Amino acid sequence: MNKFVDLEDDELSDVATKTLKPQASAPSATRAGTGAEVAGHDSDADVEFGTEKYMKSNDFLPIKPEKGQVIRFAFVPGMKLKHAKVHFFDGIGSVRCLSDDGGKAICCEKADKATAAKDKFIGLVFVYTTADKATGKLGPDVAPEIAVKPIRLSRANYSEISQLPDEDSNVYGIDIKMRHDESRAFGYKFTPLSRAPRWKQVEKQALVLAGPYTDGVLLDKLLGKKLTKVELTQKLSGKSAVEADLSDMDDLD
């Protein structure tokens, strides 16, 4: 692991002894589920309009900084990344690769260099909505406001973030700054921002906000569509579902 070297953006020297009053983010940016919802005690048989459990996906989209701006975030502790090999086909979107070690599935047979399966990762993060958009800094007297969001990573992103902490820490123990990579036409750059995540100043509130998402269901959905061989054959070939199903019968011989 890399050592932290002169973190000029690490503003925590005066923060540790301060007790800050937690602040809540705007409702559209956070999910403030009740204790019953977080614990999974709400009944699926009796549902009222406005229930967070069934509305939470509306704005649950991967974070993307605007050009010239940064996003400060920290990974939610205890939440492993979701991973899959994913193709992107025009007109279909992102779909999970069906190939395995035993051979190529139709998705790989139809893919070219641009649509070949790539490693994709989805994680759950605390986003600091009150951090400076140009620097990612939070003043020592500013209580962090937290939103819970997903983050989508490429294999290169995954590798870069894995190397950010020093040997005495891990990726869950730091704040990270995300920005556009100016050396490329597209893509993101990640740098460590603080040796101690600021969300711990509002830890109880932050963990409650993360609660509705810790089952990983929405994270998994964001990786790409899960299609059966028949469904994927239909979409890639333009056949009807019946035709695709009949053509697949050859595999049963």
Model confidence pLDDT, tens digit, residues 174-213: 999 999 988 777 789 999 999 899 999 999 999 999 999 9
- Bigger pLDDT: 217 vs 253: 217
Question: What per-residue confidence (pLDDT) applies to 186?
Answer: 79
Query: Is 173 part of any domain?
Result: yes
- Of the candidates 217, 226, 233, the residue with the CA atom closest to the CA atom of residue 93: 226
Query: Is 251 part of any domain?
Result: no
Domains contained in the chain, number: 1
Query: Is 62 part of any domain?
Result: no
Q: What is the mean pLDDT of the chain?
A: 80
Question: What per-residue confidence (pLDDT) applies to 179?
Answer: 95
6 has a pLDDT exceeding 60:
no
Would you say 194 and 166 are in contact if contact means Cβ atoms under 8 Å apart? no
The token duo for 208 is 């409650």
Query: Is 64 part of any domain?
Result: no
CA distances from 115 to 68, 104, 108, 162, 232 (A): 29, 14, 9, 26, 14
Question: What per-residue confidence (pLDDT) applies to 101?
Answer: 76
AA letter at 212 = P
Would you say 191 and 176 are in contact if contact means Cβ atoms under 8 Å apart? yes
pTM for the whole structure: 0.74
- Bigger pLDDT: 92 vs 250: 92
Report how far residue 61's alpha carbon sits from residue 219's, in angstroms, rounded to the nearest whole number: 10
Question: What per-residue confidence (pLDDT) applies to 249?
Answer: 32
Report how far residue 196's alpha carbon sits from residue 202's, in angstroms, rounded to the nearest whole number: 13
Range of the domain at 142: 12-38+72-226
Query: Is 59 part of any domain?
Result: no
Question: What per-residue confidence (pLDDT) applies to 250?
Answer: 37
Model confidence pLDDT, tens digit, residues 104-156: 899 999 999 999 999 999 999 999 999 999 999 998 888 899 999 999 999 99
Report how far residue 71's alpha carbon sits from residue 137's, in angstroms, rounded to the nearest whole number: 10
Question: What per-residue confidence (pLDDT) applies to 170?
Answer: 94
Question: What per-residue confidence (pLDDT) applies to 142?
Answer: 84
Query: Is 122 part of any domain?
Result: yes
Query: Is 138 part of any domain?
Result: yes
Would you say 178 and 131 are in contact if contact means Cβ atoms under 8 Å apart? no
Report how far residue 221's alpha carbon sits from residue 62's, in angstroms, rounded to the nearest whole number: 12
Count of alpha carbons within 13 angstroms of residue 133, beta-carbon side: 7
Region at 5 (left for phi over 0; alpha for psi -120 to 50; beta for the rest) = beta
Query: Is 242 part of any domain?
Result: no
Would you say 185 and 17 are in contact if contact means Cβ atoms under 8 Å apart? no
Give the mean pLDDT of 38-43. 40
Give the mean pLDDT of 45-52. 71
